Structures are given as C-alpha cells and as structure tokens.
Amino acid sequence: MKWAALALGCLSACGGEVGTIEVTLVTAPGSDLFERIESARATLSDPPTVVEAERDDDGDLRLDLELTAENGTALVVVEGFDGAGERIALGRSAPLPVSAVNAEVALYLAPPLSLAEAPVGLEPARSEIGAALLPYGAIFFGGREAGGDVVSDAVIYNVYDHALQIGMPMPEARAAVTVVAGEGDLVYLFGGLEQDGDASADGWSFNTSVAPDGAYAQLTSDGELARAGASGVLVGADVFLVTGAPAVQLNGPTGQVTAWPDAPPLADGAAARLVGDESVILVAGSGVGENGAVIHAGGAYSELEAPPEARRTGHAVVALPDGRGLILGGSLDPAEPARTAVIYDQDGGDFALEADFLATGRTQAAVAASATHVLVAGGTDATGAVIGDAELFDATSLAPVATLPMVAPRRGASALVLANGQILIAGGVDADGAPVGVLELFTPDE
C-alpha cells in the first residue's frame, strides 16, 4: 500500500513552486497488517490538517494532503483501521520539511504498543555493538560476529526511509566500543575490545557529513585509559564523559581524551544527561563514588546520598521527560537480578525507591526512555535464561502499561529513541549465545 502523501505548494511569494513528499508505508516483513486496513487517516501537525480515505474498488488506498508551504517542519501521523473501525496500525514520521521540495520518505506502520521487526536487519548479525543517536536515525559501530571475530562495520539506520546506510569501516575492528554523538555532524568512538580481547585506549571522530560514506580522524589519548563497554554521555559543547576508573573526558574540539581531573571513580557506571535548563549528568553503579551515585553539574562532581540499591551492575540509567533520573535493572547480588528501581529528583536532590518496579528482575536489558514510555526489553533472569518480553511503563507516572513479546529475545542489546518516537532495539545475543541480526521497533500508541 502506498500513500502519495504531501503536495506542498508555495504561494506567489515563493514563486509559485510546488513540492511533493512521496511517503511509502512500510511494515514488518511478512506482516498482513496492510491487507487488514480498510480505511486510513493522516494528520499533519502544522498547519493542523486531517484527511481520511477508504479502500476503493481496486483495493487501493490513497491519502493526499495539499497545503501552503511555510518553510517549516511538521510531523505526519498515519492511522489504519480495520473493517470494524478499530485502530490496528499507527505510524509517525520524523520532522518533515513543509516547503516546496521533492522528497521520498518511508513511514513504518505497526500495531500501537507493539514490538515488530524492522524492514531491514544487521548483516552479518553481531553483538557488542557501539551505538548512538543521530538526528535522522541511529548509528552502529563494530561488534562481534557469530564466530567470535571482531568487525569494523559502520551502519546507519535512517528513520526517514527505514533502510540501512553503510558507512566507512572503522580504522580498526572493535567490539563494545563507546560511541557518543554531539550536536553537529561528528560522532566520537573510544575504547572497545580488540580482536585479541585486549581493551583499547584508541579513539576516533567520525564525520557523518563527508561524502560518500563519512571520514575518520584520530583522537589523542593516554594508553592508561583503556576500557570497553563504558557508558558515554554528552556534557556540553562536544565534551563527553566516559565512565570507568578513572573517569575519562573526551574533548571533541581538541581531539584529546584524558583522565577527568578531580572525578570520583565511575567503575561499572551507567550515565544519563537529565532534562533541564542546565547540564546535569547522573552516574550510578556498583563502583561509582562512595555511595553508588554522583552527579556532574556546573563543572564539578558531587557525591550523592544514594540508597544501597543504586550500587548495581548490568543496569541502566535513563533520563525521564520531567527531569528525573531512573536507575533500574541489573543486579545488587550477582545471583539475583533486581526488581527495584531508584528514582533521582534533581530539584530536591532526593532519591525514592520503588521496591517492585519490574515484574521480572533482569540484567543486561535494553532500556530506553522516550517522551511517553520507558521500555525495558530482554535481558537475563535469575536463572540466567534470556528473557523474551519487554516491560513498558508510562514515562511520567512510571505506572506499568503492558508486557510485550519481543520479536527476538536477547540480552546485551542497545535501545535508542528515534526522532519519530519509536524505540529501536539492536544487537545482543540470543539464548544460544548467537548474535542477533534482527532489528525491532517499539511503536507507541500516540
């Protein structure tokens, strides 16, 4: 099913030009979702516009939006309904130009509140990938293939066409490399595991804007800073914190990677930049500071009076849309994955403990927080078995919303919130320890 979506025409002030954005609807491979859609509705956010259509006698379903171009951006939401009028499909675009341009994009439809397979997958399948968000998708570096070999691949999942773009391979193969993205076209890579299993202290910047497939530049670093699987987070102005002991400062403008002066140890730390007017970084984990949690704000680190449940491994720290930080997953005791969650309120500097937050305690889960939901997918349970579901929570109230079956049960995967509000899950290994190539998308319900 295709939808010739937007005919964007300028008035005389724009020279009478007309542009069309052709939107192709895509869904999970092998899905019968399109066949079950009998009517559809498309909604443009700005200017607010709604059009509806039903299948014609030939079985075609076409939606057209025509409007005056304003040289801005807007979101498009498409809803599909079955013969009984029940909404069975939902898709949302990333920001689209409302101007006299011609373009082709794809919009991924899936049942609301579902995990479904993306139209493309990673080939070859790989685990221990490094991942970061881009304004137009997500970028993946390196990883480990099924035979154990470390790879140098660079791949971008583009949210505007739900396809993969192949980037220039890394200068050296790495697994578990830390990847961080700034506010421009540069992505930074540091550390990771080499083919012989040793941790590296090398790093590069990767310029995504250089045609045809990007370009690398070497970073300068101290060999004593080698690490793998560390958490990285933007502090500001292309300066990044990389967790570990010692903590690392990656300075993009100077290309220098150094030990962070006066930083407490941040071993086994997961980190997130909290939403707010200032740059506040929350780091938590078993080897973080004296009590398991610290913040970096105003150019300095501060120890927090965190509860013992903040000292965990195999966990995640995510930023909630209201400015709070959430510490969840992982183990307090290596034999018992934690069901608890710890909530940090940066306004009061207080912690709250949620004793039974997760229905299933899990380590090495893929965790992400969007504007509407917190997703905790896969991982391993107390017996060491790989978990085949994802727990979903409201991002504001933190109330449980649903438990969703995964397309590919896995542990050690990455979860990233795309520019269209969907959450992409990539990488990890299955119950047999084999790398997972399937990419899957969580689709929210609004």
pLDDT per position in the chain (446 positions), as tens?
444 444 433 333 345 566 677 778 899 999 999 999 999 998 888 888 888 888 887 777 777 776 666 667 888 899 999 999 999 999 999 998 776 667 788 899 999 999 999 999 999 999 999 999 999 999 999 999 999 999 999 999 999 999 999 999 999 999 999 999 988 899 999 999 999 999 999 999 999 999 999 999 999 998 899 999 999 999 999 999 999 999 999 999 999 999 999 999 999 999 999 998 889 999 999 999 999 999 999 999 999 999 999 999 999 999 999 999 999 999 998 778 999 999 999 998 999 999 999 999 999 999 999 999 999 999 999 999 999 999 999 999 999 999 999 999 999 999 999 999 999 999 999 999 999 999 999 999 98
What Å distances lie between residue 254 and 52, 171, 251, 301, 434, CA to CA?
Answer: 53, 20, 6, 22, 39
Q: What are phi and psi of 35, to 5 degrees?
A: -65, -25
Output the pLDDT for position 44.
85
Is 202:189 a contact under the CB 8 Å cutoff? no
Cα–Cα distance, 160 to 168 (Å, whole number): 20
Distance CA 398, CA 410 (A): 24
Omega cis (within 30) before 124: yes
Joined tokens for residue 198: 């040793």
Query: According to the model, what pLDDT value does residue 97 have?
Result: 78
Evaluate whether the domain defined by 2-112 bears CATH number 3.30.70.
Answer: no
CATH placement of domain 115-443: 2.120.10.80
CA-to-CA dists, residue 224 to 10, 191, 202, 258, 330, angstroms: 59, 11, 10, 10, 28
User: What distance in Å separates the CA atoms of residue 108 and residue 26, rounded to the nearest whole number?
Assistant: 5
**Among positive and negative, which fits the CA dihedral 199, 205, 208, 213?**
negative
Phi, psi at 365, each rounded to 5°: -80, 160
Beta strands 76-81 and 87-92 are antiparallel
Side chain identity at residue 438, one-letter code: V
Q: Which pLDDT belongs to residue 69?
A: 63
- Which among 225, 253, 142 is positioned nearest to 189, based on CA atoms? 142
pLDDT of residue 59: 75
Classified as helix, coil or strand, 14 is helix
Q: Give Cα 446 to chain centroid, integer Å.
A: 18
Comparing CA positions, the residue from 357, 370, 358, 366 lying closest to residue 444 is 370
Number of H helices, E strands in the chain: 1, 42
Give 31's contacts (C-beta < 8 A, 6+ positions apart). 116
Question: For the chain, which residues make up each domain, given as ranges?
Answer: 2-112, 115-443
Give residue 271's pLDDT: 97
Kind plus residue range of the DSSP H or E element containing 34: helix 33-36
Place of tokens 């804007």: 209
Tell me if 168 sits within 8 A of 176, measured CB to CB: no
370: Cα separation from own chain's centroid: 9
For the purposes of burial, counting CB atoms within 10 Å of the CB of 161, is it exposed (0-12), middle (13-18) or buried (19 or more)? buried
